[in-house]
Amino acid sequence: MVIDEPIVSGLIAVARPVARILVVDDEETVTFTIQGVLELDGHDVTATTSAETALELIRTQQFDAMLTDLRMDDMNGIDLLKELHSVSPDSVLIVLTGYASLDTAVEAMREGAYDYLVKPCDVLELRTTVTRGLERARLAAQLRQRLEELEYANETIRALNLELEARVERATAELRDQITAKDEFMSTVSHDLKSPLTFIKGMAHLRRRRAAPTPETHPLIDALEQIEASAGRMAQQLDELVDASRLHTGRPLDLRRSHVDLVALARKAVAEHQHTTDRHALHVSTRLPHLVGVWDELRLGRVLDNLIDNAVKFSPRGGAVKVSVGAENDGHAVLCVSDRGEGIPEADLPHIFERFRRGGNVEGRIPGTGIGLAGVQRIVEQHHGSILVESRVGVGTKFTIRLPLDGSTAR
């Protein structure tokens, strides 16, 4: 080992973290010199000239770095290196070799050595190699720790995800059960309430048919007509509530499609609503005697009833409500319901189809739950159609529905 005086003079100036280092070389002067240099850096150094002793030491103690000669008297250097690396894989291995064994040093690098020093080496090279090796080991240890922490975090996240999925599944199952129970309750209530309504409507119809039209019975006949119409509207509202319950939970309606004449449906709806009011003028506007499409007649009837009812409700006395029916060349039917009523504030238009949402200018003054338009939109969408609203306060409102004809014909 060659030690340069200028280099030795700078030993104290280089501060390094303390590490436990094992030096193995069959030349005692080499181990003594290396031990002395590294101890000046503050390291805890153990030196031995025996490969067997080195193996015993690493089996009982932990070393941060090991410097070993590749030409030992009692063991092949590569075999010693393999054993050292096997017992202490996290330690930095630096091999010492002479000029005549550079090929062996390269082989040692392939077997896991961090670096090699050619004897005789100077102090600066020794200290620099050891320092870099220790820093590399420190960074590798930090990396392993971070990887372990990351793996632990991943395991924790996986466990939490499994727990969360289980909770979501339980909550979903509970919600599904609640929805089923709610549907059953709504169906039962609807059935129980519709039975007496059907009876009332039937009795009113029967009494009205049997009553002789005289000036004395005219008030009675009018009252019976009102009772019959009111019972019919209540039964329809019960059906709408059942539909609204399904639509609110995101479940589609069971549409019963058939060939429906939209012109006839519009005329029927207008006639029924005109019968309930003498304050408004309702009429149908169309150039078509018939417009037949494949739709759910009952649900489209509810759509018309909701829109006409809103138009009547929000129009002043004497206001006109128009229902227009037409067809476009792209295979769509167009249904419009317009009025000259109060109109909808511009700020409310983006929310007009939300459940339980009503225009701010009628809130608290005109009765209604505000669920109708939400149901109207969902029914139209289930027919693969669209609905738009145009409105100006003080001018009126117009709802436009486009429905695919699905191969039907306009004639």
Looking at residue 1, what is its pLDDT?
A: 40
Compute the distance between CA of residue 262 and CA of residue 386 in angstroms, rounded to an integer.
16
List pLDDT tens digits, range 18-77. 899 999 988 898 999 999 999 998 999 999 998 889 889 989 999 999 898 877 777 777
Looking at residue 99, what is its pLDDT?
A: 62
Compute the distance between CA of residue 51 and CA of residue 80 in angstroms, rounded to an integer.
7
**What is the CATH architecture assignment of 5-121?**
3-Layer(aba) Sandwich (3.40)
Query: Radius of gyration (Cα) for the chain, nearest Å?
Result: 46
Q: Which secondary structure element, helix H or strand E, spans residue 124, and what is its range?
A: helix 123-210
The answer to whether the bond into 120 is cis (omega within 30° of 0) is: yes
Looking at residue 118, what is its pLDDT?
A: 83
Compute the distance between CA of residue 227 and CA of residue 25 in angstroms, rounded to an integer.
113
Phi and psi at residue 83, in whole multiples of 5°? -65, -45
Compute the distance between CA of residue 230 and CA of residue 342 in angstroms, rounded to an integer.
26
Sequence spans of domains, the chain: 5-121, 182-248, 257-404
115 beta partners: 94
List pLDDT tens digits, range 342-364. 899 999 998 888 865 555 444 44
Looking at residue 168, what is its pLDDT?
A: 92
The total of other beta-carbon atoms located within 10 Å of residue 280's CB is 21
CA atoms within 13 A on the CB side of 30: 23
Compute the distance between CA of residue 380 and CA of residue 373 in angstroms, rounded to an integer.
10
48 beta partners: 24
Looking at residue 2, what is its pLDDT?
A: 39
- Alpha helices, DSSP H, located in 211-253: 218-248
Compute the distance between CA of residue 270 and CA of residue 338 in angstroms, rounded to an integer.
12
Looking at residue 105, what is its pLDDT?
A: 67
List pLDDT tens digits, range 153-191. 999 999 999 999 999 999 988 888 887 787 777 777 777
Cα dist from 258 to 66, 289, 313, 352, whole Å: 89, 19, 31, 30
List pLDDT tens digits, range 215-253. 878 888 888 888 888 888 788 778 777 777 776 666 777
CB 361 within 8 A of CB 342: yes
Residue 370 has pLDDT above 50, yes or no: no
Higher pLDDT: 166 or 11? It is 166
Give me the torsion for CA of 207, 212, 214, 219, rounded to 10°: 0
Contact residues for 224 (Cβ-Cβ < 8 A; gap 6+): 204, 205, 207, 208, 211
CA atoms within 13 A on the CB side of 262: 31
Give percent above pLDDT 90 in the chain: 36
**What is the CATH architecture assignment of 257-404?**
2-Layer Sandwich (3.30)
Looking at residue 400, what is its pLDDT?
A: 97
Residue 320: burial class (beta carbons within 10 Å; 0-12, 13-18, 19+): middle
Task: Give the global pTM.
Answer: 0.50
Tell me what the pLDDT averaged over the chain comes to: 83
291 beta partners: 410
Least confident range of 67-76, 197-206, 329-338, 357-366? 357-366
List pLDDT tens digits, range 75-101. 777 788 888 888 888 888 898 887 656
For the chain, helix, strand, coil in percent to 5 are: 55, 20, 30
Give me the torsion for CA of 66, 70, 76, 79, rounded to 10°: 50
Q: How far is CA 120 from the centre of its chain?
A: 66
Looking at residue 276, what is its pLDDT?
A: 80
Looking at residue 301, what is its pLDDT?
A: 92
Looking at residue 292, what is its pLDDT?
A: 95
Contact residues for 131 (Cβ-Cβ < 8 A; gap 6+): 16, 41
Looking at residue 7, what is its pLDDT?
A: 32
